[in-house]
Amino acid sequence: MSEGAAISGDGRRALWVELARLARPQQWLKSAFVVVGPFYSLQDRPVEGAAFWDVVWAAFCAAAAFSLASSGCYVFNDLADAESDRAHPRKRHRPIASGAVSSGTARWFGIALMVGGAGFLLGLPMPEMWWVGLLLGLHVVNVLCYSGGLKHVVIIDVMSLSLGFVFRVMGGCAAVGVGPSTWLLNVTFFLSMFLAFGKRLGERRTMGSGEQAVRARAVQLDYSDEMLRMVVVVTGVATLVTYAGYVQERSEAYHLGFNLLWLTVLPATYGLIRCITLLEKGVYDDPTELAVHDWAFRIAGGVFAAMSLALVGLKASWGIFE
């Protein structure tokens, strides 16, 4: 093999690595919101005569569709934010901002991701495919509106981001033919607002509120430290209250007169307060980073997931849809 061919091969591999980074696969964790509805509905017999694995497959198709479509939206968001990302200490290393991926290549890659996401809808039965497709379309429009200008409007920027998570939950519920409860939509909306406001507070702690911070996120000019601290606490409390309401609603979790799902409120409370504490100290500028880097938060999340799985998932898999 010639030296030129070797260099060309290395260049192609490097491009694929950068494209993978551009898709932000780590953000696919957000599609966990898609499977929340199907998971908690396992004992509700959402479709008469449906098999357990039919629900799992439908949830997977919906989650994959939202994951790939969201990745496509991230690509177009990075295209729009390339200039401001270059002023951010971490975002300046993103593929488009750093110049590793050209605008033209990124544009075609974003389109391909969205088409791939839509392709997973074909794995859903009718009419669920149309409902999930509608919600996926609304999600994409919302993200593009955010990138196109809503991200510069104080408070509306966070509400737009939070609405994207609500669409994810609704899409997951639609995939298995169940309606999301008001409590579920409330906890999703407030938790998403908590994460978004927490990210803005974290950025102010790590970058300050000067020119660099404003160039990285212009809407920071309209926020103050006091306001962000207040809304982080308010949305955090609202998240716990609405989650407690959702737990209260799950009547099938009662045993000997006690709702065992209430126990999951304990690790949820610890994890949320832990998140607020670290954001206030400026340890992280994004609450989602705690799931990767903070051992205490990971333990709380693991306990919450294990308890939920034991109280809902395993019980459902042993007895539902027989």
| Res. 285 pLDDT band, cuts 50 70 90 | low
State if pTM tops 0.85.
Answer: no
181 secondary structure, DSSP code: P
Q: Which stretches does DSSP call E strand in 14-126?
A: none
d(CA 151, CA 133): 25
Q: Can you give the residue ranges of every domain in the chain?
A: 29-177, 181-322
- Rounded to an integer, what distance in angstroms lies between the CA atom of residue 117 and that of residue 73? 11
Report whether pLDDT(140) > 80: yes
Length of the chain in terms of residues written: 322
Task: List, for residues 173-219, the tens digit of each pLDDT value.
Answer: 999 888 888 999 999 999 999 988 988 887 776 665 555 555 555 66
Rg of the chain over Cα atoms, rounded to whole angstroms, equals 21
- Cα 147 to Cα 73: distance, rounded to the nearest angstrom: 9
Beta bridge partners of 255: 258
- Per-residue pLDDT at 314: 56
3-state secondary structure of 143: helix
Average pLDDT over residues 127-143: 93
Task: Dump pLDDT digits (tens) for 23-63.
Answer: 888 788 888 899 888 887 766 554 444 567 788 899 999 99
Task: Tell how strand 254-255 and strand 258-259 pair up.
Answer: antiparallel
**If you average pLDDT over every residue of the chain, what do you get?**
80
Q: Which CATH superfamily is domain 29-177 in?
A: UbiA prenyltransferase (1.10.357.140)
Task: Give percent above pLDDT 90 in the chain.
Answer: 32
249 vs 11, higher pLDDT? 249
Cis peptide bond prior to 127, omega within 30° of 0:
yes
